[in-house]
Structure formats: structure tokens, C-alpha cells
Amino acid sequence: MATVSRVMTGSQPVSADRRARVLRAVDDLDYVVNSHARSLSGTAIEMVAIVLEDITGPSFAAVARGVEQEAAARGRLSLICATHGDPEQELRMVDLMHRQHAAAVILVGAAQDSEYYRVRTARYARSLDSVGSRLVLCGRPPLEEGIPATVVEYDNENGAFAAVSHLLSAGHRKILALPGAEHYSTAEGRLAGYRRALEAHGVGFDPKLVIRGDYTRASGEQAARRLLAEHPEVTAVFAGSDEVALGLMDVAREAGTSLPDRLSIVGYDDVPAAGAVFPKLTTVHVPYEQMGRTAVRLALERFGAGAEDRVVLGTHLKVRASVAAPHAL
Amino acid sequence: MATVSRVMTGSQPVSADRRARVLRAVDDLDYVVNSHARSLSGTAIEMVAIVLEDITGPSFAAVARGVEQEAAARGRLSLICATHGDPEQELRMVDLMHRQHAAAVILVGAAQDSEYYRVRTARYARSLDSVGSRLVLCGRPPLEEGIPATVVEYDNENGAFAAVSHLLSAGHRKILALPGAEHYSTAEGRLAGYRRALEAHGVGFDPKLVIRGDYTRASGEQAARRLLAEHPEVTAVFAGSDEVALGLMDVAREAGTSLPDRLSIVGYDDVPAAGAVFPKLTTVHVPYEQMGRTAVRLALERFGAGAEDRVVLGTHLKVRASVAAPHAL
DNA sequence: TTGTACGCGTTATCAG
DNA sequence: CTGATAACGCGTACAA
């Protein structure tokens, strides 16, 4: 038995003769190592788990891809779990990963920052930590100092700043903002960038030009209808997500609005579809794939000397064709 | 120990008193069941593994989502592995799943049907079968009778037939076909549907109107350039994938072709982006998510009486706005 | 270089 | 209902 183990793992020298005999037996018997037994005995190829809302969301998929790549490069498997937006399900998943002794559990996607969120997430962090797993928050509100968790964020505010500055530089002054739902860290960051850009260009902030909603296409469609009905003065829109921008473009065009001449639009996320629509959507590029890779790297390398446990990745504007100078009214 | 096990699993009655004491200890000690040990001892919550080329492909993601949903509904975890198109990597992944004693290993995505493919895949099937795992082929060429594998396909040919018939009914006669690469089962099926539709409408088949390529956007762009340069007589295109259609639309529009007046287009797959472009793309809907769910269901229920091991799901045309009557030349 | 014996954490079995 | 004990399959000290 021990010799077989040594042949399979290559951990210790085995004579050529023995090795050959073992390999032949392995072949004859269709012998396969049992990963569970191996994990149990300590020499684990622990997996990396990623928990997200829905695999089909392009940004989630991009993060998942980064995670998968980096994990594979380090010889680990990736477990993907979808919560479909249910916090109960999230809890169950984290628990499941806990039992699996995952090396890292990566939580992806915006979350409402609340007392409840912080308490619940801190509990995840501590219980995972107690079995050697690392909790990674990807694009989520960070926890307080001292909680054993790694945070990978991106610069929501500066991305929004760049996007809105771009509109302002083109000459727009009445810019509708659709930053996303209240209390979400991403939405608040994007709104802050919007306000800061207005300020930097000496344009007053008008709360009436902020419409709340989520990041779905339906939300963009709804905003478009309000825009058409209530805000004839608006010449440009800063959308909190590409989905919102796409929904808005669709409804606006149906209503006969010519794009981008009559209405300029910038999105957020730079999903693949942004380059496929007409006009191609100018949007804020978020390095989702890199976030996934970074999450795995930080979680797995946290024993080195300068172990980082918080990273903020940069965002930048991807200029395409959905912004033009404002048309004289 | 035994009592703890009974409390945790609820497998046998335990007195209220004992149960309370166990639960308190569990809480005190942050005790978590070890899944690997549980698997080892026999009572396994075996996982379901899905092997695909790339998570960010919308159709792959849809299948993955179906798999994930159905697996979760049956209390099992999903393991996702990407091969990035490397057959070596695929082999490694299947092997890994084998070691994990996955309940099912689901291979997704088109593959070239060759002797090599059949031999390799049959080997997968048999070795997985020997440890009780089931190999499922999703949208891949089926193997011969007697190989222990489950096949979930969709009706490539009839989808193509419907799409091309739609173009013919609109009055088009010179229809360019971009069915996909040679020897791929999906591409051959789509091409067969194209030919059958022409025949049904009494239109001759012209091999010059078939351009080979893969299912990428770049391939669509390239085809568009050839179309513009070499085939002024063509009034409609049957694209083998939505990506191809999107690339084609993009280049055609850049060249000043008005869509759909001057050029009608139908795609294949019905990815989310198909509903977001302008004009909205008429395309063949493929039930990707349902394929994923079906794959899991068949793999896990194969012990019942009428155990199916081959299913062909239907496809249908999703009519949107990218087809118009041919413009007089 | 090879073989023996133990422990990893759980469940099933069997005796109480 | 409860507790002790034997698997499950592997890696690994330790002894040979």
C-alpha cells in the first residue's frame, strides 16, 4: 500500500521494477486515487469556491473565469455556487464550502451595506477562518479591521468621475444619473463620482436628475420612460450599469430618439454586449476577470511576508460611440 | 461520537436531553462536519461536475446555470471546470472528477466528430462508469450503442430549417450560409437544415454561398468582408451563431449597409445580446438552460424503470426584427 | 528501498 | 435510546 502511494504521488523514490509493477496493476484494476481519502489524510488539494448570484450575468461570469483560471494555474479546482439573490441560500453555500474545507470562499457581487450584512459576513469570516479557509469579498462592502477576510474592490467613484467628466467635456450640462439602488456600496460610489465630476466642472447638483433603480435592463427601460416624459431638458445619461444603459437605449430609440445625437449615454461595467450594440456603448471598464484572479492569489498567498488583505483595482473609461456633443434644443 | 453523528444527520432518534448537550457542544466548539470524511465513509453528497470551454460564453453559461439549478435542487454541489479549448485540459478535468467520485460529469460544447474523439470519449465513459459516475454529453456527437453515457442534444437541423424557411418565405433567394467549421456535428446539422429548406422551397443549392468559419465574432466580421466584396447578389444571411451574426452586422453597418432593408440576417443560439442589438436579431432559440437541467436529471435518475439515456430537445425560431423583404437591387 | 501500523473524521453495526 | 468499535482509502512516520 505504501509503495503504491509513493508511486502515485512521486513523494519518495521507488525502484524501477516496483514502479512498473504498480503501474501495471493500476492499469489492470482501473485504480483511481480517492480525493476524499487524500483530503482526509491531510495532503489536500483544497478547492476554491466562488459564490455569486447568477452565472449568466456577464460580470459575474468574468469574475468566475478569473477565479477559475488562477485556481487551475495553482492546481486547484473551483466550485461555483449560485444564490439567485437569496441570502438564505448564500448562508447554506458558505456553510457547504466550510464543510468542504475550501481553501478560499469568494463572495462576489454588490450587497446592501447594513448592520445585518456586517454581522452576518463577519460570522462567515470567523467560522471559515477557524478551519483555515479564507473569506474573500469581491466588490462588496469591506468589514471592519480585525475580521479575518480579504477584500478585492474596484474604484467605483473614479470610474464614475471619468464617465461623467467625459459627458461634461462634451458640453453636456443636464445629465441624468441612474446610479443604482440606495445603500449599495457600488451605487453610492458611482453617485459620489457623479457629484464630484459636476462639482469639478462647476455644474450644480440637481437631486431631481437622480433616479434610483437597480442594475437590470428593466430598470433602464423604466428610467427611459420617465426621462422621455419628465425631463426634456436632459441631453445625456450616466447609467449605473451597461444593462441599464442598454434598456434605456432600447426604449429611447423606440420612441424615436436618435442616438447619440439627441441623447448621449455612458454605461458602467463594460460587458461584452456593450461593444455589440449600435451605437457602441461608451462605458467604464471594470477589471472583473482580474478581480477574480486577484481574489484567489491573495487568499492563497496570505502566508507570505507582506500579506495584503485589501486591494482596490483601477477602473477606466472605454470610449466608444454613444457620446456626442449636445444637440441644440 | 456516534450520538453526535446521529444528531447531525437526524438518521436515528436521540433523546432531547442528549441532543441539547450535543448541540451546545457543537456551538461551543464551532464544530463543522467534514464532507470528505463523510464521503469516505460512504454516505456521499456526490457533486455534479460540468466541463466546458469557457464560462463567459453565454450559451455555456446558460447550460451551467441549468446544471447548477437542478443539482442544487437535488442537494448536490456543482463543480465547474473550464478547458479553454485544450483537449489535454479536458482529460485532466475528467480525471479529476473521476477522483472526486462525481455523480455526473457533464461535457458541454461542440466537438469535432472523429475517430480520435470517439475513442477518447468512450474511454472517459467507461472509466467513469467503473466508479459509478455517469458521463453526459451535452450538444456533442453521440457515441455508439453500448457505451455507458447519456446524451442530451438539441435539434440543430430543424432549427436551421425554420430559420432559412423564414428567410425564403420573406422572398429571399440568394442566402449566404455561415454554418460553422467542418466536421462539427452542430455545423453539419445546421448546414443540413439550410439545404433542406432550400430544397423545400425549390431553390437550388449553390456551394459558393457557403462560407466556413468558426462561431466567433471575428469569423462573422471576416465573412461580412467577403460578402461585401464578392457577393453583391446576396440579400440575406443565415449565421451559424449569434456571435457570427453580431460581427457580421457590425461590419456591414460600418460599410453603410442598412439593416435589415438591404441585408436580412438570422442567427443561432438566442444569446442575451441578440435582444439588445439594433435591429433585434431574429434567431434560433436553443434551450441551453433546459439542456443543463435535463443532463443532471437523466444522470441522476438513471436507475428508475424507463431510464432514458438519449434526449433531443426542440429548437424554435425567435422572430425579432432583423429580417425584411429583399430590397429590389 | 520496502513494508507495517496508525490517524485523519465520519457513519454503520452491533451489543447493551 | 446509547456507546464502543470497525470500516472507508489515503499519506506517513517508523522500523526493517
Distance (Å, rounded) from C-alpha A237 to C-alpha A64? 30
Beta strands in chain B (DSSP E): 48-52, 78-82, 104-108, 134-138, 149-154, 175-178, 236-239, 264-269, 282-285, 310-313, 316-318
Contact list, B246 vs chain A (CB under 8 Å):
276
pLDDT for residue B328: 61
> pLDDT per residue over B108-126, tens digit each?
988 889 999 999 999 999 9
**3-class DSSP state for residue A259?**
coil
Name chain A contacts of B47, Cβ cutoff 8 Å. 79
Percent of chain B residues topping a pLDDT of 90 = 72
Q: Beta-carbon neighbour count of residue B86 at 10 Å? A: 12
Instruction: Specify the pLDDT at position A305.
Output: 64
Q: Which residues contact A321 (CB under 8 A, 6 or more apart)?
A: A260, A279, A280, A281, A282
State the pLDDT at residue A59: 95
Report the pLDDT value the prediction gives residue B11, as an integer from 0 to 100.
Answer: 85
| The predicted structure's pLDDT at residue B110 | 84
Average pLDDT over every residue of B81-102: 88
pLDDT of res. B9: 87
Residues B36, A36: C-beta atoms closer than 8 Å:
yes
- Encode pLDDT of B139-153 as tens digits: 999 999 899 999 999
Cell reading at B158: 430543424
Residue A44 CA, nucleotide D3 C1', distance (Å):
32
Predicted confidence (pLDDT) at residue B167 exceeds the cutoff of 70: yes
Q: What percent of chain B has pLDDT over 70?
A: 98
- Residues paired with residue B153 on neighbouring β-strands, in sequence order: B312
pLDDT score, position B329: 56
Residue type, B217: R
Q: Which pLDDT score, from 0 to 100, does residue B215 have?
A: 95
Q: What share of chain A is helix, strand, coil (3-state, %, to 5)?
A: 45, 15, 40
- Length reported for chain B: 329
Shortest CA–C1' contact from A6: which nucleotide? Answer: D11
Task: Kindly give, in sequence order, each residue whose CB lies less than 8 Å from that of residue A264, ignoring residues fewer than 6 positions away.
Answer: A167, A170, A172, A235, A236, A237, A322, A323, A324, A326
Q: So what's the pLDDT on residue A154?
A: 97
* Average pLDDT score over chain B: 93
Q: What is the mean pLDDT of residues B97-105?
A: 90
| Set of chain A residues whose Cβ sits within 8 Å of the Cβ of B36 | 35-37, 39-40, 100-101
Residue B135's pLDDT is: 96
- How far, in Å, CA of A327 to CA of A163, rounded? 19
With cell 507582506, the residue in question is: A306
* B225: CB partners within 8 A, 6+ apart: B251
How far apart are the two ends of chain A, measured CA to CA in Å?
Answer: 84
Q: What is the per-residue pLDDT across B298-327, written as a single tens digit (0 to 9) for each? A: 999 887 666 789 999 999 999 999 999 997
Instruction: Identify whether the C-beta of residue A296 lies closer than 8 Å to the C-beta of residue A106.
Output: yes
Residues of A (24-83) placing their beta carbon closer than 7 angstroms to any atom of strand D are 31-34, 37-38, 40-43
What crossing angle do the helices spanning B2-9 and B16-29 adopt, rounded to 10°?
90
Low-confidence ranges of chain A (pLDDT < 50): none
Name the grid cell of A115.
Answer: 448592520
Tabulate helix, strand, coil % of chain B (nearest 5): 45, 15, 40
Q: Which residues of B153-188 are buried (b: 16+ CB within 10 A; e: fewer)?
A: bbbbbbbbbbbbbbbbeeebeebbbbbbbeebbbbb
pTM of whole model > 0.75? yes
Q: Is the pLDDT of residue B29 over 90?
A: no
